[in-house]
C-alpha cells in the first residue's frame, strides 16, 4: 500500500460570520486531501460544509472571515503554496488552475444570457490570455466531449439545456485548466435520481482518467460511502468523525454519524404501513 501523498491540507481552520452576534461557522477544522482520492464531506444543512469549502478555495466574502488556521496546497512540482497568504495576481493564478469548484445549483452558476462557448472562453481569456481562438475552440470541444455532451451545444444558452447537461457544463468548465483538486458542492442537488447516477458515474470516470482529487460535499452519507475513499462527518462547524468509507459504514463511532446512517430507509426488511398520527392529512408516519 503506497504512502499518502497530500495535495491539500487545512489545519485548525476557523471561519466566522461577522454579524451581531458573530456566528462561528467553522471551528478549528483540520483535513488532509490526498492526491487522486475522493474525500467526502457529510453533514446536515447549515453545519459549515460549504463555508469550509469556500475558505479552502479563498472564495469567502464579507461578512465571512477566516479567523484562524492555515491552508497549504502541495503542488505536483514539490512546492508548498500558502493559500491564505495569496492575493492579487497570485490568487487569480491559483484559482481554477490548481483548485476548481463546481457550485451548488448549476443554473444559478451559469450566466443565463451568455452562450456556453463564451463562458468557457472567458476562463481561457482570464487564465490563458495568449491562447489563440482556434485553440480555445478545440479545447472547448474537447471538454464537452470529455463530459459526454455534443460539442454542437457550445452555441447553446443555459436555458436551452436540461439540468443534467447544465451540471455537465459546470464540470467541463471546472476541468478547463486541468486542476489538481476539484471541490464539488452538492453537484447532484435538484436532479432526478437517474440523472444523479449519470453525473456520479461521470465524475468517477473522469477522476480515474485525469487523476484529480475531489472534495465531495453532500448531506447524502450513503452516496458518499459508495463513491468516497475517506469521509469526514461535520456537525455544528466541527469534524466529529473521519475514516475510510468502510469504517464509517461498518463501525461508526460518533452518535451523529450513526443517526445519519439510520436516517435513510433500508431496502430490506418488512414493508412498513402508513399510520395516521393526527387529524389532518399529511400527519402520517411509517411503522
Low-confidence stretches of the chain (pLDDT < 70) are 1-2, 106-107, 190, 264-287
pLDDT of residue 281: 46
pLDDT confidence of residue 267 = 60
In Å, how far are 55, 62, 75, 204, 272 from 92, measured between CA atoms?
15, 19, 16, 28, 54
The confidence score (pLDDT) of residue 107 equals: 61
Q: Could you tell me the residue ranges of all domains in the chain?
A: 6-264
Count the neighbouring beta carbons within 10 Å of the beta carbon of residue 114.
Answer: 13
pLDDT tens, 230-248? 999 999 999 999 999 999 9
pTM for the model: 0.88
Best CATH choice for the domain 6-264 from the list 3.30.70.260, 3.30.2090.10, 3.40.50.300, 3.40.50.2000: 3.40.50.300
> What pLDDT is stored for residue 276 in this prediction?
46
Q: Tell me the per-residue pLDDT of 37-49, one tens digit each, with 9 for 90 and over.
A: 999 999 998 999 9
pLDDT of residue 69: 96
For residues 81-91, one letter each, b for 16 or more C-beta atoms within 10 angstroms of the residue's C-beta and e for the rest, the string is: bebeebeeeee
Q: What is the pLDDT of residue 23?
A: 94
Report whether the peptide linkage leading into residue 63 is cis, meaning its omega lies within 30 degrees of zero: yes
pLDDT of residue 61: 92
Pairing verdict, β 80-82 and 23-34: unpaired
DSSP the chain: -PPP-EEEEEEEEEEEE-SSS-EEEEEEEEEEEETT-EEEEE--TTSSHHHHHHHHTT---TTEEEEEEEEEEE-TTS-EEEGGG--HHHHHHHBTTTEEEE-S-HHHHS-TTS-HHHHHHHHHHHH-TT--HHHHHHHHHHHHHHTT--GGGGG--GGGS-HHHHHHHHHHHHTTT--SEEEEESTTTT--HHHHHHHHHHHHHHHHHH--EEEEEES-HHHHHHH-SEEEEEETTEEEEEEEHHHHHHS--SHHHHHHHHTSPPSSSPPP-EEE-SSSTT-EEE-
Amino acid at each position: 500500500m503506497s504512502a499518502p501523498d497530500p495535495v491539500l491540507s487545512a489545519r485548525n481552520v476557523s471561519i466566522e460570520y461577522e454579524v451581531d452576534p458573530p456566528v462561528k461557522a467553522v471551528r478549528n477544522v483540520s483535513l488532509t486531501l490526498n492526491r487522486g482520492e475522493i474525500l467526502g464531506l457529510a453533514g446536515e444543512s447549515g453545519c459549515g460544509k460549504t463555508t469550509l469549502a469556500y475558505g479552502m478555495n479563498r472564495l469567502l466574502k464579507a461578512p465571512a472571515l477566516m479567523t484562524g488556521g492555515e491552508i497549504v496546497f502541495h503542488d505536483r512540482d514539490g512546492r508548498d503554496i500558502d493559500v491564505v497568504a495569496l492575493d492579487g495576481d497570485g490568487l487569480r493564478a491559483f484559482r481554477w488552475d490548481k483548485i476548481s469548484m463546481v457550485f451548488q445549483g448549476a443554473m444559478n452558476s451559469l450566466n443565463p444570457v451568455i452562450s456556453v462557448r463564451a463562458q468557457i472562453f472567458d476562463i481561457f481569456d482570464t487564465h490563458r490570455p495568449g491562447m489563440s481562438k482556434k485553440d480555445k475552440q478545440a479545447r472547448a470541444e474537447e471538454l464537452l466531449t470529455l463530459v459526454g455532451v455534443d460539442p454542437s451545444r457550445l452555441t447553446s444558452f443555459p436555458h436551452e439545456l436540461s439540468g443534467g447537461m447544465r451540471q455537465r457544463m459546470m464540470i467541463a468548465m471546472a476541468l478547463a485548466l486541468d486542476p489538481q483538486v476539484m471541490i464539488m458542492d452538492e453537484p447532484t442537488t435538484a436532479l432526478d435520481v437517474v440523472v444523479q447516477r449519470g453525473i456520479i458515474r461521470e465524475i468517477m470516470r473522469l477522476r480515474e482518467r485525469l487523476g484529480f482529487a475531489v472534495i465531495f460535499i453532500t448531506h447524502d452519507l450513503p452516496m458518499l460511502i459508495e463513491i468516497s475513499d475517506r469521509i469526514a462527518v461535520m456537525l455544528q462547524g466541527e469534524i466529529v468523525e473521519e475514516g475510510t468509507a468502510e469504517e464509517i459504514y461498518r463501525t461508526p463511532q460518533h452518535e451523529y454519524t450513526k443517526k445519519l446512517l439510520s436516517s435513510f430507509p433500508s431496502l430490506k426488511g418488512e414493508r412498513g404501513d402508513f399510520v395516521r398520527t393526527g387529524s389532518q392529512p399529511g400527519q402520517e408516519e411509517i411503522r
